[in-house]
Structure 1
Amino acid sequence: MRNQSEREVDIQYLKTMVYYAGEVKDRLARAQRYNISVNDDMVVESIALLLGQIGEQLDSKKLSEEVQTKYQGNPIDFSSISRFRNKAYHHYGFMNAKGILLASQGMDELIEQLNFIIRKEQIDLDNLF
């Protein structure tokens, strides 16, 4: 059972994931605004790094295993995010623009799911008092 401080840290890592998901959306919008193809290498690489940062928050020293287990598959598949992070960081040469851009299209849903978890965790935290 996580204590108050650990729960607060978990909420912060979830909020960090929301931030990076928002940055993915912003990067795509910026590319469109400046008429840069979403297939442009710089756009794809920056989105891949941002997507990787979402997965980076799932490190065992960051978002707790308890939270990841509690919400795995309902509403978020944390293991898929983690696998994507590993692929983006360690096997970048095997990734293609299509796969990265496909992953980036789910940001609205991911943000909604993360905010749901944040609200639930915040309620649990508030109920400690």
Structure 2
Amino acid sequence: MSENIELVKRYVAAVERFDLDEVEQLIDPEMTFQELPNRIRPAGGRDDHAAILAGLRRAGERKVLSSQRYVLGDIIEAGDRVVVEGRWEGTMAVPLGRLQVGDKMIAHLCMIFGIRDGKIAWQRNYDCYEDFSAK
């Protein structure tokens, strides 16, 4: 396995565990995160390094999700880019739409990572959430 793919896998595993310290070690101080429009973030958005860490810190409080899991599928490396297809499952700590505490919110993912100097420099997510709206 290449160093870039190993880096991305370590990063995703750290995010899954809400491990702020490890994430900080793996990302570039100038990292940006772009999320394309989806059910959670309808307008999409772009976060800088500080916002990325603040979001992970909030998630780590486990007020909305009690846990999360990434199931990685195909991983493709092209130069300084790594593309990952996968599935994300978040176990709800609060009700949302038709989801109750303990239910899983599910998203099908395509994540693209840019690597610079052995760190993750940017991430772009295409998150497709399964319907969780109230019936």
TM-score (norm 1): 0.33
Answer with 1 or 2: which has the greater Rg.
1
Q: Which has the higher contact order (CA 8 A, sep 6+)?
A: 1
Q: Pick the structure with more strand per residue.
A: 2
* TM-score, structure 2 normalization: 0.32
